[in-house]
Structure 1
């Protein structure tokens, strides 16, 4: 039986990590990321839901998945697919793109790219950043050089719509939750922050984010747990820091979401 093979790599920047994966069986349930994910399909085809419809992407194509966008993903055929991913913190990516306005976040006007020149440049960048004996200066400079072409051709500096719940933005709600992930979170508490009733909060949240508050918080805990694991913290510390009562529950949820266990996250 064919097995999935997933490897995670750190880089010279804490804000940038890499994924090299060969998926045969694992399917991603509907989820979101805190980071931009730029995925290069190097073999096979992937099917995924995003932006209200189902998409199909194949070898030589690029997926530009923005943060907080609800999506899923699985192999289109039984032979699976291979992907190389850049996971990049939004503020760092915007800084790399040299945006002039403080706090402005770059986004892309395309979800799927079919551009051989950009694909080749990004694939070469991904391969170079995983080379262990690369010079320190090269590791520092390569991300800008490699991502510059995708910025120039497909980047947009227009502001994204600001999604709100009651009196506050989704971003502010996220910041509040990230500061309190290790504590029990109640529906009434979230509703009060937004100056809504619990029923109003649930209805407005689902209409805005297309996911329940509980599922959104669960994913937020896992995404933050992922970041802490990459920073070198051990699994038991991370589990408590993001609100899991014990490591066993964290390991089970993590493996269900990412296809690997927390111990397999590599710092290289």
Structure 2
């Protein structure tokens, strides 16, 4: 995968092609491009979805230019996904898609992957990436509107995954490791786990960590010790997650216990 971010004002791209799949979103401004004889405008809340070897150009149509965020996905990568979905090949059926939710997800993912200071877990990053690409392909390729998988996780498979998550609270759990443990690809596993539980593996693990954290705090453990014990990077991340889930900070939660 290749990720790029650039600001353009007066520069114009001549007609060109790419060897891979290109997904683009602008965070401000607007770009206009010609694709198969038709003009398209890439605005905030829309996505540019270009297949390999499709001729196009591009230039700014806003006075202050535009900022483009681009993700390039190799052909082999998309072909592997197509095989998992029992498709011979996958190609975007539109060069421009108005999709506010998906474009915002893309920008969040792009920033996460390009921010060297970000300390998100592998499971969180892989879950976001896999979920975004799966949703993008399901909406804007030849499989759009089709049921992509009728398979479901068995109760035994769900128990295997849940046991791993319980046992690896303070570990950097990998999406591929979970998927391999029940013989599925990351894409198959993510879809089927979410279908079975209503949550992504990362969301499920985060909730487990918070439930165990409450018990540790009730038992008298300090907030900082609890944060590391249940697998949070630091106390700041722990505090934010705890408050988002329980509407109170760990310290406030413990004080309330003492008061009661």
Structure 2-normalised TM-score?
0.50
Larger radius of gyration, structure 1 or 2?
Answer: 2
More helix by share: 2
Q: Compare relative contact order (CA 8 Å, sep 6+) and give the higher one, 1 or 2.
A: 1
